[in-house]
Structure 1
């Protein structure tokens, strides 16, 4: 599938918003709903990880294709339908400029093209999507392929912010782009802080932290100064939760009233978790979420107690 053909299937973010949802119609709270969060399908990593050569583009990705197909099929069977399906980064394994990138992208777009047309896709950029040290060129490639690298949208009275977390990791080669996101983010957080939304939620690839705000710096989290700066901004604005991936394991913690949710991967597992997806229910008062293995979601669907929250009025 070419990028042009993908544009016909996916509601890609443009102009810093997602046209799948009308802001005017979606700013009002109308009752509970749910969405699906996935992370790191990362086509190519499983073979690369098994051979100990993760710097290569990963020359086989059949396993990830099958897992992503299973995820799409499981989501399509859910009733009622989720409002959207968000993928929190590392869509493919091949870094910008490495072999297999085009082929992995086309295969992932083909698989995702089978998602129910009534379930919009939300794409978050990860380090493998824009590079560990992104450049204007790598970010432009992502935007052309998947849509804007940062944007906001409203669903059911809830404000969602999608961020490019590589700007928080290393923006040394794209400082002007980082400043632009920073300015935009401050504007969005100002809107959230006015209290006109039922909740405000952030999606990004790299977690602020894995378990606690004061943990050591690690490849899988943001540095202490950056995480403190971002957490302070988020909590001041009343952000309820940050959903991320990157760790390839389930983890997370809380800071003040902020829930940091780290979801394991659709693709390669680096711990003891299963390939899976997270179901997130948004009620008037809280945000409830549960991680399901792909097999669980395929065979049993969403637990009755969680679905009861969605249907409650």
Structure 2
């Protein structure tokens, strides 16, 4: 069944979930993916000067088809950033074409599965401007928001604010203040625990590692927020951006980095991650599309 595209979040709250989702109803699972990034393969891997994204279209269609064929549907499908490749400010016409094709594909997702979009650097710019943020919001909804699902509190953040907020300092401060409040809600609520979705990883494998130039956030920001996440009850942070699978722990807080639906920069294959949410833990496994299961045992 095809549905019309619509934004799924507003007023900093995802409206694909009902009030009853604040209560634990037993184990569930969701699908996490990242970096559809329509246009990257041809532009970056193949060095083709002619824009094109047929390969990403095929892979993103496959992602939707795999979810739609599942015997038991996931509670939601989250894409952790870089929805398309063209930067909105640099190539607005090209970006519009990519977004149109992406939305056409995602509108085919089974309507019983809420779609959760996370913004990446290619969605709001490496150094975002206010117009970049407005452009994203007009296309995909809020760039940071929260929602309840199955008694777990989920927080979606715009990690680009922590990468470079030079031109959007006021907006970055608003997210920081909002995030402090969300962590307070998590800590004082009856939530089983919290989960966070963002684009850029805090680290790739080790909390003590040095920051990369591009693929992780700076250590001083990591040192500010991860202890707060853990203290509030966040159990895991799910990311993309790296175009490879990676991950590690800060004490018992897990960092999960999932490779792309689209272009691969390492040895992984395109696919998605199945995340099982249990009463006191989170289990997850990455599956290439050719091995993606039709059912999930909880």
Shorter-chain TM-score tier: over 0.9
Task: Report the secondary structure of 1:248's partner residue.
Answer: coil
Quick check: 1:73 aligned with 2:65? yes
Q: Deviations over 1:68-100 (max 9, x none)?
A: 000000000112110110000000000122331
How many residue pairs match? The answer is 293
Task: Report the secondary structure of 1:285's partner residue.
Answer: coil
- CA–CA distance in 1 between the matches of 2:236 and 2:101? 31
Quick check: 1:139 aligned with 2:133? yes
- CA–CA distance in 2 between the matches of 1:19 and 1:82? 17
In 2, are the aligned partners of 1:11 and 1:18 still within 8 Å (CA)? no
Structure 2's unaligned 5+ residue stretches are none
Q: Deviations over 1:126-175 (max 9, x none)?
A: 00000000111100110110010000000110000000000010001000
- CA–CA distance in 1 between the matches of 2:5 and 2:193? 29
Quick check: 1:16 aligned with 2:12? yes
**Partner of 1:93 in structure 2?**
85
**Partner of 2:74 in structure 1?**
82
Quick check: 1:301 aligned with 2:294? yes
Task: Report the secondary structure of 2:14's partner residue.
Answer: coil
From 201, 205, 214, the equivalent of 1:211 is 205
In 2, are the aligned partners of 1:11 and 1:19 still within 8 Å (CA)? no
Quick check: 1:263 aligned with 2:234? no
Quick check: 1:152 aligned with 2:150? no
Task: Report the secondary structure of 1:93's partner residue.
Answer: coil
- CA–CA distance in 2 between the matches of 1:63 and 1:211? 30
**Partner of 2:45 in structure 1?**
50
Deviation of 1:209 after TM superposition, in Å, equals 0.4
Quick check: 1:103 aligned with 2:97? yes
Residues 147-186 of structure 1: pairs in structure 2 closer than 5 A: 147-186=141-180
Deviation of 1:10 after TM superposition, in Å, equals 3.2
Deviation of 1:9 after TM superposition, in Å, equals 3.0
Structure 1's unaligned 5+ residue stretches are 1-5
**Partner of 1:128 in structure 2?**
122
Q: TM-score, normalised by structure 2?
A: 0.95
- CA–CA distance in 2 between the matches of 1:238 and 1:158? 10
**Partner of 2:187 in structure 1?**
193
In 1, are the aligned partners of 2:5 and 2:106 still within 8 Å (CA)? no
**Partner of 1:25 in structure 2?**
20
In 2, are the aligned partners of 1:27 and 1:158 still within 8 Å (CA)? yes
Residues 28-39 of structure 1: pairs in structure 2 closer than 5 A: 28-39=23-34
**Partner of 1:243 in structure 2?**
238
- CA–CA distance in 2 between the matches of 1:226 and 1:172? 15
